Structure 1
Amino acid sequence: MRERLRDAVFDLVVSMVVLCGSFNPTLPTPFPSPAPEPEQKLGTATGLEPLTAEIRQLGERLAKLAVLHLNVYQTLYEESGIFPEW
């Protein structure tokens, strides 16, 4: 259950931040009116259908946090040599 919930939230956040372009935290909803792929996939055969609203709200909040973090630290991540070689 935890893995399914984690995967559903992760997929939603990634789709909001990466796939849909820059997510604007000031907008009430990050998606246009037609339902996007992640929301449709969220409630299909995962057993998480009753939690769809909560998963969406959590995904939106995490997407806002991710965008804020990227706006602040993106230039730091883009610098070469900041991370040690693994």
Structure 2
Amino acid sequence: MTKITIFTGKTCPKCPAAKAVVEEVAKEIGCEIEVLDIEENMIMALQNQIASVPAIMIDDEVVSIGEVPSREALLQAIKKA
């Protein structure tokens, strides 16, 4: 099963919109979501070269950093994963 991980931040203005896109896509295709605060998960973020939020990973691959992906772009990234 595909897993989408989204790194967010408490003061991130784009994070709520990115999370909404992730939740919509996950519901549509039936995949797991993990929402992580970057400050609380800094080691994992750095291991994946994530320095800004929102950041989205599909399984173990980073597909978006610092932007809100479109629904279509996220679905395309999932198909490639």
Same fold (TM over 0.5): no
Higher share in strand: 2
TM-score by length of 2: 0.31
TM-score by length of 1: 0.30
Could you say which structure has the larger radius of gyration?
1
